[in-house]
Amino acid sequence: MISIFESLRNLVKISQVKIDNSVLVLHYPVSVILLLAFCVIVTAKEYVGKPIECLTDESIPIDIINTFCWMYTTFTIPQASYNYPLQSYPGIDATMDEKQFKYHGYYQWVAFVLFIQAICFYLPHWLWKFWEGGKLEALSKPVNEAIYSGRHLQQKQHNLVKYLVSSRGSHDSYSFRFFICESLALVNISLQLYFLDKLFEGEFRQYGLEVINFLLVNDEQRIDPMARIFPKVTKCRFKRYGPSAGLDSVDALCLLPLNIINEKIYIFLWFWFLLLFILTALTLVIHIMVISSRSLWLFVTKLTYSWSSSQHIKPIIQKSTYGDWFFLYMLGSNIDPVVLKNVLCELADNDDSINDSCDL
């Protein structure tokens, strides 16, 4: 299991330059690594064995019945779930009425869906990385390298300040594109929740709450939602022509060991996606509030850099558009705090009204 995550860590490249906020990091790389790991697990036979094993008393080769039931899906009888433990298996009884059958075909697609989900989580990051174009790295790298080499640090700081002064008013598109990608992340998680609910025929939206209720309520008659949505034992109806050219039906009992893994994966994803949705929506609302209020720019700066002084931060904000402030805020997370302090000092000193010593 550990080797899977180590391999995926090498596959998913994590840059040292921070171009995302903390919530977007949960989308990429965290969610991407999790989904790819789950994808590998459900396709690895050493963890789940064969995806399906069917039993029948009839003279049908077991490989044929296994292949048929995997391709054409298996079924349970939802009404029979209420008879458990009177019945041997939840969702299984001798009912012959096909109108009561609930077919389960999702298990064929779980690995593909997880992989596609991982791609969808990567797309907002990819778009932002493309639009960002390595700008933060290009500006922060020379200063950071000068710190370790001890050479030309003041000159590098001065060059950075010169760029920030000369480029004032040119970063609005930068911040707008980040906002678009942040919005896409919210759209992605919303659509993923909707799609999973459709995949499981409306059963996913309440899945986590039902599992909690099942674990907390001590009632022998309670129905296990994990067994209902991800049954480990199902039935399969194999139809063939008999010697008299009539159509015979043969019922097989099928084991789905893959669902032992699936039920755990999707209970985790239910809580994880819900957390992501809440955090992403909250972050987007806060972002909109910050855009609309300069006083919040100062508040966020002071909150992030507690050592900063309003006396020197205010002149910078007064001369900046939101894009300028946002770019400086993102740049600050990629350079040494001492260097950032000096940069803010020099930026403040560019305001003629600030003549006293720079003491943040």
In the block, residue with structure tokens 């490249």: 13
For 86-95, the CB contacts below 8 A with 24+ separation are 89/233, 90/223, 90/224, 90/227, 90/228, 90/231, 90/233, 91/227, 91/228, 91/231, 91/233, 91/234, 92/233, 92/234, 92/235, 92/253
Specify the pLDDT at position 355.
44
* Element (DSSP H or E) covering residue 253: strand 247-255
Please tell me whether the peptide bond between 124 and the residue prior to it is cis, using omega within 30 degrees of 0: no
pLDDT digits (tens, 9 = 90+) for 3-61: 665 666 666 777 889 999 999 999 999 999 999 999 999 988 656 678 899 998 767 88
pLDDT digits (tens, 9 = 90+) for 297-355: 989 988 888 777 777 788 889 889 999 999 999 999 999 888 888 888 888 877 544 44
Handedness of CA 309, 314, 320, 325 (dihedral sign): positive
169-193 average pLDDT score: 97
pLDDT digits (tens, 9 = 90+) for 99-132: 888 999 888 899 999 999 999 999 999 999 999 9
Residue boundaries of the structural domains of the chain: 2-121+201-289
Distance CA 307, CA 302 (A): 7
The token pair at 254 is 């099928």
Distance of CA 130 to the CA centre of its chain: 20
pLDDT grade for 220, boundaries at 50, 70 and 90: low
Q: Tally helices (H) and strands (E) across the chain.
A: 16, 5
